[in-house]
Amino acid sequence: MFIRRTRTRSHNEDYVTFRLVRSERTGTKVQQRTLLNLGRHFEIAPPDWPRLCQRIEDILAGQLPLSPDTPAALEEHAQRIAAQLLARAPRGAPAAHRAPDVQAVDVNSLALLRPRTVGVEQVALWALDQLGLRELLKTLGLGPSLRAAAVGAIVARLAQPGSERAARRWLRERSALDELLGVSFDTLGPMRLYRASDALMAHREAIEKHLFQQALDLFTLAPTITLYDLSNTYFEGEAAHQPQARRGHSKDKRTDCPLLTLGLALDASGFVRRSQVFAGNVREHHTLAGMLNALDTPPGALVVMDRGIATGERLAWLRKQGYRYLVVSRERTRQFDPEGAVRLDTASGHGVQLQRVLDEDAQEVRLYCYSEARAAKEQGIAERFAQRFETALTQLSEGLAKPRTRKRIDQVHQRIGRLKENSHGIAQHYDITVDTDPTGQRATAVRFTRHARPGSMMTHPGVYCLRSSETDWDEDTLWRTCFMLTDVEAVFRALKSELGLRPIYHHKPLRAEGHLFITVIAYQLVQVIRTRLRRTGEHASWTTLRRILEGQQRITATFRRTDGRTLHVRKATLAEPPQQAIYDALGIDSSPGGIQKTLV
């Protein structure tokens, strides 16, 4: 066994690769066979090549303990290359058709090598194939290496959300995905995942259309309602070279960072129809027309939106274009008449009262809703802010009786103004007066009384309003249809907390959008997995499913046989009951990668 340096010419470019070669005698001839391509960036210096090859031979022969005089870097490469050689062994037949294989081994020689996670990878590849994404990438002209890198980037986003650098580290050091794909990620270059991201972005529209249509066909669904909403993520660093990075209202409360906004149009089934990236300071209602036009949404389609987008101007535009709509109203004054309301019991056990009001002039219906659970939450929030505001005013008043405190009337009013500014709107419910001394220049006390403002959260907690062009719908239909917006919020929570949407580290605009697009693709896979599992009664979040699946690993067991030869067996650990339940529900093999045996 030795290492050969080979010069290769491709596309008018000369480059050097390194290969692990073995001389083998066949009859009277000696032939050299390439065992492994070590790539273009082989780090071991030529003087250490013989020592490396000898160490690889020793590992394959079962001499596993690290020799004291072997450098750590050389030992690491030897272990990795030996594992790759063992992984290239032919896979055995499925367990159901496997004949018994009885061998005599020294049990004390057992060693377990190269543990790599395989459960999440197996399920992710199943979802990829359900949507036909690997075949689509081939049709779009991506080569084998780039396709493998693209699949690696997407699966890494499901299994170990993070940056592309973190994904490369996970693919090389922790995952058995390359074994399932029949490739090697050990030589994955630092730029390969970035190029894969660029390739996915180049075919973004085709990929989104394909994934959405495949999802509908897979679950026999028909496109019905367009749910539209936006959220934002943030950059680490100044993002000086990102033209769309802007400071604005951060939904993650990261006002210290430049932002980027992601808009999603979803179907009622929860699958993404289209995604689009906007500047971080974009106004939500300015994005609606462009997104619907890009979707080729036909007139008459029903559009469901949150209050941030549902301005009067946008609603007028929807009516003019012939769209139907159901939105959360932006009106600030709350009103509700329990006498004219009907009660609806929700799945959570909390009641909702619904008051339907028809506006014939505007050809619009309004649904005023009172939620018991929401009322309890808003009452708690309002009371907490009120107590905090009153405590601050009381402390300010008591301080005026102490020496060396600021008592000038203008300074006291400034402090009251700051308290109002930080009161989260609760100050509007208070009348505040300041007592002064006879000169009128110094404050002596601050007095306040609470007067709840009519039509506010203090007087109408738990009340909100829906507006719709569907004037013939009843209360139940209006409320349940708009309730789908909570699914959109759940999507954004999944993208951010489960699939690594935030933060963004990229300096190039295309790479930042690619990071978001890979996350959206990963979400589509999660939606396929969870939709199939829900039909079997499993409603766990992706975080829970991932935690269950990542416990299964592929491991190489090495034994010394009684005849002196070494047997290497690589297989997945036995699926535990929760893992087996997921595999059975999806109809996939619970022993990912099969069994590989090598006798040295």
Q: Which two tokens stand for residue 562?
A: 């009684």
Please provide residue 152's backbone torsions phi and psi, each rounded to the nearest 5 degrees: -60, -40
Q: Is 19 exposed, middle or buried (0-12, 13-18, 19+ CB in 10 A)?
A: middle
Q: Is 325 exposed, middle or buried (0-12, 13-18, 19+ CB in 10 A)?
A: buried
| Closest among 387, 412, 391 to 400, alpha carbons compared | 412
- The amino acid occupying position 246 is R
Q: Render pLDDT for 282-295 as a digit per residue (tens, 0 to 9).
A: 876 677 777 777 76
**38 Cβ contact partners less than 8 Å away, ≥ 6 residues apart:** 3, 17, 18, 19, 20, 81, 187
- Residue 47: asked if its preceding bond is cis (omega within 30°), the reply is no
* pLDDT the model gives residue 445: 93
Q: Render pLDDT for 15-47 as a digit per residue (tens, 0 to 9).
A: 788 889 988 887 778 888 888 888 777 888 888
- The amino acid occupying position 192 is R
For range 100-115, the mean pLDDT: 87
Give pairs for 346-355: CB < 8 Å, separation 24+: 348/373, 352/479, 354/475, 354/476, 354/478, 354/479, 355/475
Indicate the pLDDT class of residue 97, thresholds 50, 70 and 90. Answer: low
Q: Render pLDDT for 187-199 as a digit per residue (tens, 0 to 9).
A: 888 899 999 999 9
Q: Which two tokens stand for residue 390?
A: 């009153």
Q: Considering just the CA atoms, what is the radius of gyration of the chain in Å?
A: 32
Q: Render pLDDT for 517-556 as a digit per residue (tens, 0 to 9).
A: 999 999 999 999 999 998 999 988 888 999 999 999 999 9
Q: Is the pLDDT of residue 415 over 80?
A: yes
Q: Which two tokens stand for residue 387?
A: 């107590």
* pLDDT the model gives residue 79: 83
Q: Render pLDDT for 321-350 as a digit per residue (tens, 0 to 9).
A: 888 888 888 888 999 999 989 998 876 667
* pLDDT the model gives residue 284: 67
**Rounded to two decimals, what is the model's pTM?**
0.75
Q: At what angle do helices 509-534 and 119-130 cross, to 10 degrees?
A: 90
Whole-angstrom distance, CA of residue 15 vs CA of residue 157? 32
By the 8 A CB rule, do 495 and 527 touch?
A: no
By the 8 A CB rule, do 363 and 469 touch?
A: yes
Three-class SS of residue 127?
Answer: helix
By the 8 A CB rule, do 20 and 52 touch?
A: no
Q: Is 574 exposed, middle or buried (0-12, 13-18, 19+ CB in 10 A)?
A: exposed
Q: Is 39 exposed, middle or buried (0-12, 13-18, 19+ CB in 10 A)?
A: middle
β-pair partners for 426: none
| Closest among 241, 280, 277 to 258, alpha carbons compared | 280
More confident residue, 16 or 225: 16
DSSP assignments along 136-184, one per residue: HHHHTT--HHHHHHHHHHHHHHHHS-S-HHHHHHHHHHTB-HHHHHTS-
Helices (H) then strands (E): counts for the chain: 18, 18
Instruction: Tell me which residue has tokens 């030529």.
Output: 46
* pLDDT the model gives residue 266: 83
β-pair partners for 20: 3, 36
Q: Render pLDDT for 453-512 as a digit per residue (tens, 0 to 9).
A: 999 999 999 999 999 999 999 998 888 888 776 666 667 777 777 777 778 888 888 998
